[in-house]
Structure 1
Amino acid sequence: MTFYSYSDQLNDNIDVIEQHWQSGIHSQFTGKNGNLFYTIHQPQHIDYAVVLISGRIEASHKYRELIWELNQNNIAVYCCDHIGQGQSARLTADQQLGYIEQFEDFADDLHLFIESIVKPQLCSDYFLLAHSMGGAICCDYLARYPVNVQGAFICAPMLGINTAPFPSKVALWVARSACRLGFSQRYAFGQASYIEKPFSENELTNSAERYAHFRSLYANQAHLQLGGVSFAWLQAALNWTFLLPELLSSTPVHIALAEQDSIVDNLTTKQWAQQQNNISISEFPMAKHELLNEIDSIRHPLMLQFYGFCDSHRSFKATGS
């Protein structure tokens, strides 16, 4: 029977979840642009492994509930904080600034992580589980590197960025112009350092419990915080999204979309997915951006969909008697 973490039990389980997080392997390796933090959590019996690819501003520590749940289901988890966020090296004097020079640097680091840290320890199939910016990184990685992963399950991918009220091409022109004028390490218009929004104003989740635990973690561990994006990040990310039609991969992929997502552009994702033969897609009504941290009525079907995807693509499928 699949183990599932329920939000109404989260407060009672949080100490156990935190202890589980602390019991994992926490270390660093050298990425393309600096030291990268990573964590490994392995259950006693491993059915298969997951490489968890987080979104923008996220630290792997934020996923402690999910990692705990996956381990309870005999799934090993490997997760690396992206350069410039979490517990990995920051790239600018302003530690709150979201910055990258080339978006492809993220996937290059993912490749280094998988080849140098993950694969030497694997004794089973492995899958990619990605969220938001991590979904874009995942797609970039699958398109540019030869991989032998069994499949990728991507939640609310950042394949198109909501740049309202301006069209994305206008936003890219502004970002390029700002970078040419020497403002690459300045916050893009409307961006600022880390802000803790009240639950009533958040665009991430309908789950008050999970949102409260996320904000509490970042309040108590300020080194995890990250603010808005720079003009350089915006230019790099938008440049990459315009290359999206050229990205092809034969790896089985499932994309889960949030119907009420205001962070990424679902239409771009749908149009791209329809042109690929290896991609299936689902959409969750009433869901906001963070599907993996949503209310149980959304998150539970999502996780069951994820487990089903992995079971259907494993090279060895267990049979009962």
Structure 2
Amino acid sequence: MIEQSQIPEDETLVEKRNQQFIEPFWQRNVINGYFLGKQKVRIAYAYVINPNPIGSIAISSGRIETLLKYKELVFNLYHAGFSVFIHDHRGQGLSGRMLDDPEKGYVADFADYVADFKLFFDQVISPNSVHKPILLSHSMGAAISSLYLLTHPGDFAKCIMSAPMFGIRPALPKWLSCLLIESYTLLNHVFGKSPWYFIGQSKYNPKAFAINELTHCQQRYKIFRDTYEANPQCKLGGVTTAWLKQADKTMSFIQKNAAAITIPVLLLQAGDDRVVNNAKQTQVAAKMLNCELMRIENASHEIFFETEDIRDQSLRAILRFLA
């Protein structure tokens, strides 16, 4: 855990804003609920309706994330004039898990994520939106969003992708990664009754801030980890071989079909990303017909949870893009 005394003085404003404005806003204005996704998995969601909206934004979050982590971004977008919608993907956050061990990162097929998202769109987002919604996504959520846009091309007007998961680091040669995944899948099938963690993966184990790969902002990292301690049902460990196999399949599909995504896309690339493969992002962006790639120097993977200057740069870029 990070002690408050260790937080740089200029970052303490983040916690003050969180306590004085963001938490009260969330409790007062945000509506929470559940719906049954594909195969009756319980999917958690939250949304807030702006009384005078200039648009609607749906957020597709990254792996291990929860809607509770996005309170600050929802607050920012609401005060920029938008109604905002977010749900927790199956197998993480406040949503239902499919395995006996709730900390294993698992999905049977990325198409299940898309099926859940479509139900959320039809049941919650569309009925509460005056304007055609905008899609904002991060990391794994951007891979899911890309699949969604390829499957349901008419639902969203524009899309923002933050550090999209079009390739995972460290980037092994394709033949080697496929060999490892297939070999471990076979072993799992022969000797295991349920999906195994992939090599090197384990249960939820929060890293110390000094060695984290997600953000340079110590205070936002502390809030993120404290949120999971306060809501232990949100904790998620590493990925299973089954999840990784589906992720690899999905990333390959996106790389081959990116040209079919025709709506305007803003791709925010984190210059200091050590989680996903920026070279793959650049390749996919070049294939999209209407994509603006903006590289944010010195940003770690979680751009929306970065330091004030980086976060401000990204939010200003989003608002320009939406205007």
Query: Are residues 1:299 and 2:299 paired?
Result: no
Deviation at 1:192, TM superposition (A): 0.6
Partner of 1:246: 257
Partner of 1:236: 246
**Structure 2 residue matching 1:69: 3-state secondary structure:** helix
Q: Any conservation in 1 of the 2:83–2:129 contact (CA below 8 Å)?
A: no
In structure 2, give the amino acid aligned to 1:31: G
Normalised TM-score (structure 2): 0.91
Partner of 1:314: none
Query: Are residues 1:27 and 2:33 paired?
Result: yes
- Paired with 1:298 and 1:288, the residues of 2 have a C-alpha distance of 9
Partner of 1:13: 17
- Paired with 2:174 and 2:79, the residues of 1 have a C-alpha distance of 42
Partner of 1:106: 113
Partner of 1:156: 163
Runs of 4+ that moved beyond 6 A: none
Q: Any conservation in 2 of the 1:163–1:171 contact (CA below 8 Å)?
A: no
Deviation at 1:168, TM superposition (A): 4.0
Deviation at 1:7, TM superposition (A): 5.0
Q: Any conservation in 2 of the 1:21–1:61 contact (CA below 8 Å)?
A: no
In structure 2, give the amino acid aligned to 1:120: P
Q: Any conservation in 1 of the 2:261–2:289 contact (CA below 8 Å)?
A: no
Q: Any conservation in 2 of the 1:210–1:294 contact (CA below 8 Å)?
A: yes
**Structure 2 residue matching 1:12: 3-state secondary structure:** helix
Q: Deviations over 1:155-214 (max 9, x none)?
A: 0000111145x3344223322232233256110001111111111000000111111110
- Paired with 2:251 and 2:75, the residues of 1 have a C-alpha distance of 33
**Structure 2 residue matching 1:114: 3-state secondary structure:** helix
| Aligned equivalent of 1:56, options 44, 57, 63 | 63
In structure 2, give the amino acid aligned to 1:45: N
- Paired with 1:148 and 1:57, the residues of 2 have a C-alpha distance of 26
Partner of 1:317: none
Partner of 2:199: 189
Partner of 1:319: none
In structure 2, give the amino acid aligned to 1:20: F
| Aligned equivalent of 1:209, options 209, 219, 225 | 219
Partner of 2:88: 81
In structure 2, give the amino acid aligned to 1:21: W
Moved more, 187-196 or 109-118: 109-118
Q: Any conservation in 2 of the 1:151–1:253 contact (CA below 8 Å)?
A: yes
CA 1:246–1:125 in 2, change beyond 3 Å: closer, same or farther? closer
In structure 2, give the amino acid aligned to 1:293: F
Question: How many equivalent residue pairs?
Answer: 305
- Paired with 1:78 and 1:7, the residues of 2 have a C-alpha distance of 28
Q: Deviations over 1:35-85 (max 9, x none)?
A: 100001123321111001100000001000111111122211100100000
Percent same amino acid at aligned positions? 31
CA 1:148–1:96 in 2, change beyond 3 Å: closer, same or farther? closer
Q: Deviations over 1:202-242 (max 9, x none)?
A: 00001111111101111121111111000000010011111
- Paired with 1:168 and 1:92, the residues of 2 have a C-alpha distance of 29
Unaligned runs of 5+ in 1: 1-5, 312-321
Q: Any conservation in 2 of the 1:172–1:239 contact (CA below 8 Å)?
A: no
CA 1:198–1:251 in 2, change beyond 3 Å: closer, same or farther? same
Q: Deviations over 1:127-173 (max 9, x none)?
A: 11100000111111101113242200110000111145x33442233
Please tell me the root mean square deviation across aligned C-alpha atoms, in Å. 1.5
Q: Any conservation in 2 of the 1:53–1:79 contact (CA below 8 Å)?
A: yes
Deviation at 1:275, TM superposition (A): 2.1
Query: Are residues 1:177 and 2:162 paired?
Result: no
Query: Are residues 1:223 and 2:233 paired?
Result: yes
Normalised TM-score (structure 1): 0.91
Q: Any conservation in 1 of the 2:268–2:293 contact (CA below 8 Å)?
A: yes
